[in-house]
Amino acid sequence: MIRVLGIGDNVCDKYLHTQTIYPGGNALNVAVFAKFLGAEAAYLGTFGDDEIGRHVYAVVNEMGIDLSHCRMETGENGFARVRLADGERVFLKGNQGGISRLKPPILTGIDEEYISRFDLLHTSIFSFMEPELSKLRKSGSFLSMDFSDRYDEAYLRKCCPYIDCAEISCGEMEEEEIRLVMDQIMEFGCRHMVIATRGSKGACVMADGRFYEQSPCLVKAKDTMGAGDSFIACFLVNYLDGISMAVDFPEESGQKGVVTAEKYKEMLIRLSLYRAAVFSSDQCQRDGSFGYGKKVALSDEDMRVLQQM
């Protein structure tokens, strides 16, 4: 099984209506979900020394995810305030990444050597790692970056030349518009593929110029937090674990079954999409991104946001 490193953002999602915090964050989530799938997983990021930071660190450390290259800083850990509407998470005012925004990791030579051991590196637009993308490109074999729905053309132009796979959130976009964005991302330098998650509309992938679609495995959602991250993690873990076996058979082997790397790759992408759809539907039955909730007292600002709701 492959080795996966999430680099960048970790947060707690603070559910105001239940006064409960749950660990999360795109980069951390992908590492955690990879661990659930049997991969060897690690996370590299910055933790604050407040109650939220200590809770996230303790949970992830207990799960057996390697945190040996994380930074610990004095300050407020990242958090997002959340409410649920019929199981759909709705983000409210947070602290824009907290200490991760102020002091994201600056990668050292020791970090780069460590990073080079992993098969998949994953970061995000919320990770504040843009100045370090060139180091990640140099050190990593496959670099993935989630742009959510917050990107613009200038940002894509800046980041795409360093990455192998881009992820975008496209819940309300029409297929034609999604294809145009995918083409643009590849034109700007993304090396291999784009994954577009669409919530209850499913997902699609563009890989080396070919377009694939996947219907969702629809369930009555308890909480959709982390569903897109779980889809991305499951797809990439399955795809990267299998793609190393892609070979063209010698001509004398015959033509029965699958005998070309291209056909195998197409089947692998479709299988990975199917597994990701099932895995992400299961994710919608959990509280928070991956559970481990903790009751907390609400601050004055929490109460003001709650009243505005």
If pLDDT is split at 50, 70 and 90, which confidence band does 140 have?
confident
DSSP characters over the chain: --EEEEEE--EEEEETTTTEEEEE-HHHHHHHHHHHTT-EEEEEEEEESSHHHHHHHHHHHHTT-B-TT-EEESSPPPEEEEEEETTEEEE----TTTHHHHS-----HHHHHHHTT-SEEEEETTS--GGGHHHHHHH-SSEEEE-TT---HHHHHHHGGG-SEEEEE-TT--HHHHHHHHHHHHHTT--SEEEEE-GGG-EEEEETTEEEEE-------S--TTHHHHHHHHHHHHHHHHHTT--PPPGGG-SSS--SHHHHHHHHHHHHHHHHHHHHHHHTTSSTTT---EE-PPPHHHHHHHHH-
pLDDT at 87: 65
List, as own/partner pairs, every contact residues 175-183 make where C-beta atoms lie below 8 angstroms and the sequence separation is at least 24, other chains included: 175/204, 178/204, 179/206, 179/211, 182/206, 182/211
pLDDT tens-digit readout, 193-225: 999 999 999 999 999 889 999 999 999 888 899
pLDDT at 303: 83
Full-model pTM: 0.95
CB 146 within 8 A of CB 125: yes
pLDDT tens-digit readout, 249-299: 999 999 999 999 999 999 999 999 999 999 999 999 999 999 999 999 988
Q: How far apart are CA 152 and CA 161, in angstroms?
A: 15
Q: How far apart are CA 112 and CA 147, in angstroms?
A: 23
* Mean pLDDT across 155-167: 98
Phi and psi based region of residue 44 (left: phi greater than 0; alpha: psi -120 to 50; beta: remaining): beta
Domain residue spans of the chain: 3-308
pLDDT at 1: 84
* Mean pLDDT across 61-68: 98
Q: What is the dihedral of CA 290, 200, 148, 58, to 10 degrees?
A: 0
If pLDDT is split at 50, 70 and 90, which confidence band does 7 have?
very high
* Mean pLDDT across 16-31: 95
% of the chain at pLDDT higher than 90: 86
Query: Is it the case that residue 94 has pLDDT exceeding 90?
Result: no
* Mean pLDDT across 32-57: 97
* Mean pLDDT across 137-141: 92
pLDDT at 227: 94
**Domain 3-308 sits in which CATH superfamily?**
Ribokinase (3.40.1190.20)
